[in-house]
Amino acid sequence: MHPKKLFLFDFDGVIVDGMYEYWHSSLLACEKYLNSQDICIDQNLYKQVSNIFIEMRPWIKYGWEMLIIVHEITKTENPLNNNNKINFQNKYHQNCKEILLKNSWVSEDLQKCLDKSRKYQIDKDFDSWVKLHKPFYEVIDFIERIKKYKINSGIITTKGTIFAEKILERLNIFPEFVFGYESGTKVEIASKLSKEYEIMGFIEDRRKTLVDIKQNSYIRHIPCYLADWGYLKRNDKNNLPYEIKLLKLKDLGQLVAN
């Protein structure tokens, strides 16, 4: 008997563009819950996403890192800006660790601040919060289309499960399952799923994640697709290794039989 078929999707940058939500929720978290004396958050900042934040987004893996970036952008002294952004990016992980240490922060606590910010907005005005996310309708149509081929859909995200599910429900998307950051790494989750499903492909906009999958002997057979509409670093599309394929929105339909 053939195993059930499954397509895996990342969420942020693949199914929805959440840039406005990241900025808004991270600003609110820094202002309302972080209690930092080093920042100054003007209400006008909420009106438009910082260009520096947009440029930093491809380096961010976990939600709590967004608070670090927003904190650095809104610092009153030596803020993160066009003059020093490249230096920050070149030592991104080291810089994040140093900022945690300097402020006596723990990444889990920053994540809780972000989650509290999102819950506050959902409780106050759910519709406004959802509208901060801009869906990629081509992906939504593809998820609906693969049902005709008896292919399930699964979502693995570094967002909290509860928040991803609320957005998906509003978009009328009901995947077989949603795994958030609480469930472990994407490699771990894909490995577990591969025992039960034939995974037809994984669509993700973080190149490093796809490389990690291809370097894992147990799941390297999974077809991996880098979403070119997502949050990519400047050179992410170049010289893709391990037969990772660059995928454009217009080519989604070619992933299943006509």
Query: Does 191 lie in the same domain as 120?
Result: no
Is the same domain home to 144 and 108? no
Confidence at 258, pLDDT banded by 50, 70, 90:
low
Residue 3: which pLDDT band, with cuts at 50, 70 and 90?
A: confident
Residues 160 and 245 in one domain: yes
Quick one: 93 and 183 in the same domain? no
Q: 160 and 99 in one domain?
A: no
What distance separates the 2 farthest-apart alpha carbons in the chain? 64
Q: What is the 3-state secondary structure (H, E, C) of 90-159?
A: HCHHHHHHHHHHHHCCCHHHHHHHHHHHHHHHHHHHHHHHHCCCEECHHHHHHHHHHHHHCEEEEEECCC
pLDDT tens digits along 91-110: 999 999 999 999 999 999 99
Give the residue-averaged pLDDT of 58-66.
95
How many domains is the chain built from? Answer: 2
pLDDT value at residue 161? 95
The pLDDT assigned to 2 comes to 60
Provide the whole-model pTM.
Answer: 0.92
Dig out the tokens for 173 from the structure. Answer: 């998307």
Rounded CA-CA distance 22/64 in Å is 10
Q: Is the same domain home to 182 and 81?
A: no
> Is 247 in the same domain as 141?
yes
Q: What is the pLDDT of residue 197?
A: 95
Region 182-193: what's the mean pLDDT? 95
Question: For 128-186, what is each residue's pLDDT tens digit?
Answer: 999 999 999 999 999 999 999 999 999 999 999 999 999 999 999 999 999 999 999 99
The terminus-to-terminus CA distance of the chain in angstroms comes to 24
Range 224-240 average pLDDT: 96
Please report, rounded to a whole number, the percentage of residues in the chain having pLDDT higher than 70: 98
Residue 233 is predicted with a pLDDT of 94
Residues 9, 47 share a domain? no
Q: Which of 130, 149, 177 is the last residue of a domain?
A: 130
Q: Tens digit of pLDDT for each residue in 38-57?
A: 999 999 999 999 999 999 99
pLDDT of residue 149: 93
Residues 10 and 27 in one domain: no
Q: Are 178 and 158 in contact (CB under 8 A)?
A: no
Domain boundary, last residue among 130, 152, 182? 130
What mean pLDDT is reported for the chain? Answer: 95
Residue numbers of the domain that contains 67? 19-130
Residues 12 and 24 in one domain: no
Is there a single domain that holds both residue 123 and residue 162? no
Q: Are residues 32 and 104 both part of a single domain?
A: yes
